[in-house]
Structure formats: structure tokens, C-alpha cells
Structure 1
Amino acid sequence: MKRYPSPWRQSLWLLVLLGSQAWANWQEALPGAQIIGAGEFRMYGFDVYNARLWSAGPPLASDRPFALELIYQRSISRDDLVQASVNEIKRLAGASVSAEQLAAWQAQMQQSFIDVQAGTRITGVYLPGQGARFFVGQQLQHEVKDPQFARAFFNIWLDPRTRNPELRQQLLGIAKP
């Protein structure tokens, strides 16, 4: 005998599906966003990723959200992405971030990132005063509700002391790729 879901169960599933579509793509957090700048990150002569900075207003205004989109050109493990991010946050933040805080952020990044291959797109959305959301493709992967983490993470690319000042200038629209 074939069982059919009850109307209540069907309604519940519909709500679950609709709820999972909340923030189904990063553009919903940035209505009217446009590309501010774009560039490539290369290491030892190899293409690593293409980057684009999106904003609906002036770039890097402290009260405006923005998105940093990375389109990977090669395979990189989640663990390597997380470790590189932790190392850069530690380098830029210095003693202002404790070892315990870095460990907590590392755990958040483990949930936010995936193993990437050529063509994988990860977009981080900076939400002032709230934190950050990370999307893989158009799907929300993880949300980190920690404004201090969000600032520290996006500083990897946007702080004047970044390891790649040329890419920073390209992302900010100051220099052309």
C-alpha cells in the first residue's frame, strides 16, 4: 500500500524548502550591487583565483555591506584555505586577536569553506555590525555572526598591509588588472 504524505507534512516540507531558500544567493543581501573592481591572484606563476569586489555604494564605507567573490582556478583543500586565512588574519591582527579567538574563527571557516576545484565560486558577504555570510555558488554555506571576525577576514584582501597590494588596488577600482 502506497503512503502519501499528509497535507500537514507537505506544508512542513514546503516551509523547510522555502526557509532554505532564505539568502539563497548573496545578491539578496546587496540589492543593486555592482562590481567595484576585479583582479587575479597568482602565486609562483600559477593562477589561483579571480576576485571581484561588489558593492551597492562607495567601496569600503564602514556602514555598507559588500561582497568579495573568488572564482578558483585550481584545486585547493578546505584545510589549506582555512590555514592560509588564519595565517593572514594572525599576521594582520597581531596581538589584538587571542589564540582562543583564532581557534574559534578557524572552526567557523571550516564550516564556511569547501574543497575547491577550478571553477568553484565562493563569495563572502560583509555585513557591518553583524558578521559575514559565505556562499558556494549561489547557496549559503555558513553564516558567522561575529563582526570582529568579518573585519579581520576581509582585511586579508582589503587592508593596506595585505600581501598583495596590486590586487587590493584592482579590487578597489584604483588600478586596472
Structure 2
Amino acid sequence: MPRFNVIFTALILSALVHSQSLKASEIQNEAWIVVGKASLSVLWFDIYDASLLTLNGQFESYQQPLAIQLLYKRNISKEDLLKETDKQLKRFVTEEGVRSRWINELAVIWPDINKGDQLVYQTDLNRVGHFIFNQRLIGSIKDPLFSETFPRIWLSPDGKYPKLASRLRGESTIGAKQ
């Protein structure tokens, strides 16, 4: 009987892993169109190149399916990424409990970032936010408020980098760096 349990458990785990990879390929195979591109540099440090993609090539709202691709130009620890994300989210969500819950979820999902890594945030039609790291789905957050708020870090004119946001939204093509 124990052997049956081991085999059954292995089959279930295999099915879960397979369904996770199918989901990642389904997400990545959408017909995404680039809306805008920009690069973020702080002082003399290049941080990342960013792209906003949507299904129709236009940014219309935070509720539409969209993808934000970040190609990192430097190493960033998960801890630093979480701290900076929390700091940026404070601009849009004042409720500490909500932000804390999101940061805790991100802490489980996100890895340390190395130069050359790509992290993609993507929302689907059900307003679920998915994270794809170097072409692999690493986790999802099923909170419509998160899916509406998180992209504001890069896309809102009220964010820390309004010029970058404007370029990503396709409103400005003058210059490529924030």
C-alpha cells in the first residue's frame, strides 16, 4: 500500500508541474503587441530595459490584459526588489495590510535577479497577475486589485518615473531613458 501512495503522489505532482508549464506556454503565446519601450537608469547605473505590451498595441486601462517585460542590467537581491516594490506601491495603496499581504506573496514568488534576467508581469482576462522569469511561469497572484495596482509602478504618471511611464504607454518617443 505505501508503494501505491508514493506512485499516486508522484503522478499528482507530475500532473501539477505539467499543468503549470502548460499555463506558462498559454500565457506566453498570446499575440502581444509592443506599446512602448524605455530604459531606467539611476545616476550612472543602468537598472533595466522595459517594454509594455497589450493585445491591441494600445494602453487603454489598468484592467486590460497587459504585459510588462523587464530585462535587468544589474544584479538585484530579492530583498532589495521587495523593499523597492513596497516603497513604490505606497504611492498607490495607503493600506499597510494590503501592501504587506502582496509583498508576502511576492516574497514567495520572486527570485534574486541577475544581470541579463528577464522578469515579465502579465495580467490575463480574469485580472490574474502572472510572473514569468526567464521564460518560466514562477507564480500568480489572483487579486484583481493587485492586477490593477501593480502595473501603476511603471505606467502611472503619478509614479516615481513619469517620463518612463509616458514612453511605455506609447505617448512619448523622444529619448529612451528615464
Q: TM-score range by the shorter chain?
A: 0.7 to 0.9
The verdict on how the C-alpha distance between 1:80 and 1:8 changes in structure 2, with shifts beyond 3 A counting, is closer
Unpaired stretches in structure 1, ≥5 consecutive residues? 1-6
The verdict on how the C-alpha distance between 1:62 and 1:78 changes in structure 2, with shifts beyond 3 A counting, is closer
1:52 alignment partner, SS class = strand
Query: Structure 2: which amino acid aligns with 1:91?
Result: R
The verdict on how the C-alpha distance between 1:20 and 1:93 changes in structure 2, with shifts beyond 3 A counting, is closer
Identity %: 23
1:87 paired to 2:87:
yes
Q: Please say which of residues 139-148 and 60-69 is displaced more in the overlay.
A: 60-69
Check whether the contact 2:62–2:149 (CA below 8 A) recurs between aligned residues. Answer: no
Check whether the contact 1:128–1:147 (CA below 8 A) recurs between aligned residues. Answer: no
Q: How many residues align?
A: 166
Structure 2 match to 1:48: 47
The verdict on how the C-alpha distance between 1:91 and 1:44 changes in structure 2, with shifts beyond 3 A counting, is same
Give distance in 1, aligned partners of 2:98 and 2:9: 42
Instruction: Give the superposed CA RMSD.
Output: 2.2
Check whether the contact 1:35–1:54 (CA below 8 A) recurs between aligned residues. Answer: yes
Structure 2 match to 1:143: 140
The verdict on how the C-alpha distance between 1:109 and 1:32 changes in structure 2, with shifts beyond 3 A counting, is same
2:22 alignment partner, SS class = coil
Of 116, 121, 124, 1:119 maps to 116
Output the TM-score relative to the length of structure 1. Answer: 0.83
Unpaired stretches in structure 2, ≥5 consecutive residues? 1-6
Deviations 1:87-146 (A, max 9, x none): 11112333xxx2211111110111232111110100000235533111101111110000
Output the TM-score relative to the length of structure 2. Answer: 0.83
Query: Structure 2: which amino acid aligns with 1:117?
Result: N
Give distance in 1, aligned partners of 2:13 and 2:123: 31
2:151 alignment partner, SS class = helix
Check whether the contact 1:74–1:118 (CA below 8 A) recurs between aligned residues. Answer: yes
The verdict on how the C-alpha distance between 1:10 and 1:75 changes in structure 2, with shifts beyond 3 A counting, is closer
Runs of 4+ in 1 over 3 A off after TM superposition: 7-17, 60-63
Give distance in 2, aligned partners of 1:8 and 1:92: 46
